[in-house]
Structure formats: C-alpha cells, structure tokens
Structure 1
Amino acid sequence: MAAAPKAKTDAGNADAAADAKKKKKKLLLIIGLAVALIAISIGGTIVALKFLAPAPPEGEVAEEEQAESTLAPALYYEMTPNFTINFNVNGRQRYLQAAITLLYRDPLLEELLKLHMPAIRNGLVMLLSAKNFEELQTNEGKEILRKEALEIIRSQLQKEQEALVTSGKSEEVSPSNVEQVLFTNFVMQ
C-alpha cells in the first residue's frame, strides 16, 4: 500500500515539472515577442523619420558628395621663424610668440606660399601688432585672430595670383585652398 502514494507523488512531481517547463516556455515566448515588438517599433521609427525628413537642396547634396569623393589629403606648411610681437601694456613690456601652420590640400599651393611668404608674413605681423594684448588672452580673441589671419593670407595670395595669371607666368591656383590657420604654439607673457 505504501507504493501507491509514492507513485502519485512521483506523478505529481512530473506534472509540476512539466507545468514549470510550460511556464518557462511561455515566459520565454512572451519575452521574445516583446523584444521583437520593440525592434520592429525602433526600425519603423527610423524608417518613418527618413521618409518624413525634408530632402536637402540639390546643390548641397552635390557639393557634399563631391567634397567627400574628392577630398585630398591634408598638407601642412609651417611658417618659420615664429612670430614675435611686443606690446606695451600699462607701461610694461609684454610679448607674444606664435607658431603658425597652414592647412591646405592643393600641392601646387606650396610654391605660391613660398613665393609670396614675405608679403604674407608682413600682413600677419601688421595684424598681430594691431591687436590688444588682453583680447588675445581669451579663446574668443584667439579664434577671431585665426579667422582674420586666414583672410589676410587668402587676400594676399589672391592679389599676387591675379598679377601672375594676367602676366601669363603662372597657372591659376585658388587661394581659398588654404583651409585653416593653426596656432601650433601661442605664448604670451
């Protein structure tokens, strides 16, 4: 007689184990469905945003694609020697020493830079010496100086390039190819 209740207990344990497996399968199925629904929702949102986003103007797309496909490697031209400028601030002598490097991509531009470096350096010395010492101590002042230096370099190259092209001594190289003026050293004391 004792064997019969044990058989019922084993059958009950087997049923409980089967129920536990079914519950795990249901739970895993529900979790899988939830993950799938979340993935579909995110994918649908991304697709909807792409369709609803305004199309960029045709000119911008062409310029971006052309710039990405034809971007040449960066070239650097270090202007040596460094620029040293003195300031008189409240009766005290102050100094600025700046190392400037130009970033460009057209290899033909290097010869033009070398040829006109005295005129470019003169323009930069005049710009630096006209600045206020306190103004150059701020990041905004340095950024303004960097942009003004780029304008001076481009305008000087443009002026000299026009003279060479009209005389037939040179092929046209765009001065706007000088992309950035980089301060690789900027010491004020």
Structure 2
Amino acid sequence: MAQAPKKANDAGGDADAGKKKKKLLLLIGLAVALVAVSVGGTVVALKVLAPPAAETNAEHAAPAPTLAQAIYFEMTPNFTINFTVNGRQRYLQAAITLMYRDPALESLLSLHMPAIRNGLVMLFSGKSFDELQTPEGKEQLKAEALVVIQTLLKKEQDALVASGETKGVSLANVEQVLFTNFVMQ
C-alpha cells in the first residue's frame, strides 16, 4: 500500500512541473515580445523624429564638387639672398613652385612675375638667417610668401575688373607656396 500514494504524488509532481514549464515558456515569450516591441518602437521613433530635410537632402543632394587638378608653376630662376651674420657672408638659395587650380591664372602669374619676385625678394631679405634655419621659420616664411603673392594677385585682378577688362581674368588664387629646394650656407 505504500506504493500507491507514491504514484499519486508523481502524478501531482508532473502536473506541477508542466505548470512550471508553461510559466517559463510564457515568461520567455513575453520577454521576446517586449524586446521586439522595443526595437520596433525605436526604429519607428527614429524615422518619425528624423528631420525631414535630412531625408530630402540625402535623396536630392548634388554630388560634392570635385577639386580641379592641381597645377604647378615653377618660378625660375631660383632665389638667392645674401645675409651678413657675425661679419660672415651667408646665403640662402630657394627654389619655389606655386600650386593653383585655375589654368587661366598662369597668364596672370607670368604677366606679374616681376612684381611677385620683387615682393618675395623683399620678404626673404628682411628675415634673419637664424630664424630661417628652424622648421618653424621656414613654415612662417612659406605662409608670408603666400600672403605676398595672393595680395599682389588680388590687387591686379581688382584693377582689371575696375577697368572693365574682365575678359579672360581669373579670380582664382595661388593655394600654396612650395619650397622645392631650400639651401642655407
């Protein structure tokens, strides 16, 4: 007789285990549903809250303008500047190349090359030999040379525009001054 009650307990235990499994599956299903709702809600919220201009601009945006190919203008002859340092003669020899992108600028550079060279010689000769020996001094010289060239070209372009001779005048400018050779001794 002792075995009959055991079977009843086993049947009751199976029923409890089945209920526990159902609860566990129900909780797992509920968790999956909550995650799905959360992800879906986030996607919908991002679409609703996104500025409409972003969508319109992305669809109808013009392609980014590409830069024209770089053009290099070598200034010849090289610049040679003399310095007196502690009673000794010192020299700077610099080869300069200008970088720009508008082919029409070449004729303006050629036309005004004497004035450009004069401005650069005045700039170089106004520097001290010691400051040009440092990398910072060379970078500063490049920046100042670019300003000298751009200022002169702008002045000449403005004069041509004011005189009404805008035919073939490029309003572009030199982008970089490059030292292709820089020797100090």
What TM-score does the superposition give when structure 1 sets the normalisation length? Answer: 0.62
1:152 aligns with 2:168: no
Cα deviation, residue 79, structure 1: 0.3
> Secondary structure at 2:130's aligned position in 1?
helix
- For the residues of structure 1 that align with 2:94 and 2:63, how far apart are their CA atoms? 31
- Alpha carbon RMSD of aligned pairs, Å? 2.1
Aligned residue type for 2:171: S
- For the residues of structure 2 that align with 1:90 and 1:165, how far apart are their CA atoms? 49
Aligned residue type for 2:170: V
Distance verdict in 2 for CA 1:87–1:162, change over 3 Å: same
Distance verdict in 2 for CA 1:99–1:68, change over 3 Å: farther
Distance verdict in 2 for CA 1:75–1:67, change over 3 Å: farther
1:73 aligns with 2:69: yes
1:181 aligns with 2:177: yes
Aligned residue type for 1:147: A
Aligned residue pairs, count: 126
- For the residues of structure 2 that align with 1:149 and 1:116, how far apart are their CA atoms? 15
Paired residue for 1:82? 78
| Structure 2 unaligned regions, length at least 5 | 1-45, 47-53, 55-60
Paired residue for 1:107? 103
Q: How does 1:8-87 map to 2 (within 5 A)?
A: 69-87=65-83
Distance verdict in 2 for CA 1:185–1:95, change over 3 Å: same
Which stretch of structure 1 is more off in the superposition, 162-171 or 128-137? Answer: 162-171
Aligned residue type for 1:158: K
Cα deviation, residue 166, structure 1: 1.2
| Structure 1 unaligned regions, length at least 5 | 1-50, 52-57, 59-64
Distance verdict in 2 for CA 1:160–1:66, change over 3 Å: farther
Once the two structures are superposed, residues 6-33 of structure 1 have per-residue CA deviations (whole angstroms, 9 ceiling, x without a partner) of xxxxxxxxxxxxxxxxxxxxxxxxxxxx
Q: How does 1:154-173 map to 2 (within 5 A)?
A: 154-171=150-167, 172-173=169-170
Query: % of aligned pairs identical?
Result: 70
Task: Answer with 1 or 2: which has the greater Rg.
Answer: 2
Runs of at least 4 residues off by over 6 Å: none
